Structure 1
Amino acid sequence: MAKIGLFFGSSTGNTENAAELIQKDLQQRGLEVDLFNVMADPVSKMQDYDCLVLGIPTWDIGELQEDWKNNWDDLDSLQLAGKKAALFGQGDQRGYPATFQDCLGLLGNKLRERGATLVGFTSTDGFEFDESLGVEDGKFMGLSLDDDNQRELTEGRVAAWVEQLVAEFNLAAQAG
Structure 2
Amino acid sequence: MTKIGLIYSFNTIKTSKNAEKIKKAFGKEFDVELVNVEEIDEESFLSYKNLVLGVPTWFDGELPNYWDEFMPAIEEFKLKGKKIALFGLGDQVGYAENFVDGIGLLATAMEKRGAKLIGLTSSEGYNFERSVAIRDGKFLGLALDIENQAALTDERIKAWVEQLKKEF
Q: TM-score range by the shorter chain?
A: over 0.9
Alpha-carbon displacement from aligned partner over 1:130-155 (angstroms, at most 9, x marks no partner): 01000001000000001111112111
Partner of 2:9: 9
Q: How many angstroms apart in 1 are the aligned matches of 2:127 and 2:156?
A: 16
| 1:59 matched to 2:55 | no
Q: State the TM-score, normalized to the length of structure 1.
A: 0.90
Q: How many angstroms apart in 2 are the aligned matches of 1:85 and 1:29?
A: 20
Unaligned residue ranges in structure 2 (runs of 5+): none
Alpha-carbon displacement from aligned partner over 1:83-129 (angstroms, at most 9, x marks no partner): 11000000010000000011111100100111100010001111110
Shift of 1:11: 5.6
Q: How many angstroms apart in 2 are the aligned matches of 1:10 and 1:89?
A: 14
Is the alpha carbon distance of 1:67 and 1:166 closer, same or farther for their aligned partners in structure 2, counting shifts above 3 Å? same
Q: How many angstroms apart in 2 are the aligned matches of 1:125 and 1:51?
A: 27
RMSD: 1.3
Alpha-carbon displacement from aligned partner over 1:16-71 (angstroms, at most 9, x marks no partner): 11111111111x24210111111122254221111110011111110111211121
- Aligned 8 A contact 1:121 1:140 in 2: yes
Partner of 2:155: 156
Q: Percent identity?
A: 45
Partner of 2:112: 113
Partner of 2:124: 125
Q: How many angstroms apart in 1 are the aligned matches of 2:44 and 2:80?
A: 14
- Tell me how many residue pairs correspond in the alignment: 168
The residue identity in structure 2 corresponding to 1:104 is: I
Q: How many angstroms apart in 1 are the aligned matches of 2:72 and 2:31?
A: 28
Shift of 1:2: 2.6
State the secondary structure of the residue aligned to 2:85.
strand
State the secondary structure of the residue aligned to 1:63.
coil
| 1:103 matched to 2:84 | no
Alpha-carbon displacement from aligned partner over 1:4-23 (angstroms, at most 9, x marks no partner): 01111366411111111111
Q: How many angstroms apart in 2 are the aligned matches of 1:24 and 1:102?
A: 26
- Aligned 8 A contact 2:85 2:118 in 1: yes
Q: State the TM-score, normalized to the length of structure 2.
A: 0.95
Runs of 4+ in 1 over 4 A off after TM superposition: none
Unaligned residue ranges in structure 1 (runs of 5+): 170-176
The residue identity in structure 2 corresponding to 1:24 is: K
